[in-house]
Amino acid sequence: MNKLLKLISVTALSLLICASAATAGEPLFKTYDFSNKKISSDWSTKKTYIIAGNRVLGLFNNRNKRYPAQTVLTLQNIPKNSAVTVKFDMFYVGSWDSEGKLADSFSVTIPEGAEIMKLTKFPCILENDDDEKPVNNTGFVKVGERDRAYWVAPLSFTVDHSMVLNGELKLEFKGSLTGRKTEFWALDNVKVFIN
Ligand SMILES: [Ca+2]
Ligand SMILES: [Ca+2]
């Protein structure tokens, strides 16, 4: 059994190495999968949630005091003149709106500084506006009393080297949601590349 486990670990490791080799030229600088409940001090928030057996950073909601509104990732010791590319899985939980009075948004900014990315279009589609009839959702997750549909989308952005100050870069991830109990977000598989 131990041997089998070892073999599986070695295979998983080789797969990881292959995956990083596939992005050669963009060295992997940091990676966060939040699989350990103890979250890296690089993140300003420590709250995690389990979605389909997988631990993610979140949930977040800017209108509900039970959840943090945003999180800041602090990257240090970035080599000189390096641009920073961040790739991650964005979890949209619930009925995020792309338009209308209840429209939501999601942004990444340098705290008190430049906006790096702003999203106003989301994959959360409901048939007849019915929470129980999501379209193309990844799955369902229980939040509070209710099962809510969620959608996972890969996102990425690159920050110019001029925004890195003394080897440090702070990135604030923030959702601006209208729903206090119906809309949430989470992050997973955050990978930071320097190029
Ligand atoms: Ca995870
Ligand atoms: Ca909304």
- pLDDT-derived band at 18, boundaries 50, 70, 90: very low
**Residue 145, in any domain of the structure:** yes
pTM (two decimals): 0.86
Over residues 122-150, mean pLDDT:
94
141: CATH: 2.60.120.260
Query: Above 80 in pLDDT, residue 13?
Result: no
> From the CA of 137, how far away is ligand 2's center (Å)?
17
Count of domains forming the chain: 1
> From the CA of 176, how far away is ligand 2's center (Å)?
9
Query: Above 90 in pLDDT, residue 4?
Result: no
Query: Above 70 in pLDDT, residue 38?
Result: yes
- Closest ligand relative to 94 C-alpha: 2
**Phi, psi for residue 19 in degrees, rounded to 5:** -60, -40
- Closest ligand relative to 51 C-alpha: 1
Q: What is the pLDDT of residue 28?
A: 96
**Residue 167, in any domain of the structure:** yes
Residue 160's contacts (CB-CB under 8 Å, 6 or more residues apart) are 83
Residue 79's contacts (CB-CB under 8 Å, 6 or more residues apart) are 167, 194
Range of the domain at 104: 26-194
Nearest to 179 by CA among 124, 97, 68, 119: 97
Q: What is the pLDDT of residue 74?
A: 98
**Residue 20, in any domain of the structure:** no
**Residue 169, in any domain of the structure:** yes
**Radius of gyration over every alpha carbon of the chain, rounded to an integer in angstroms:** 18
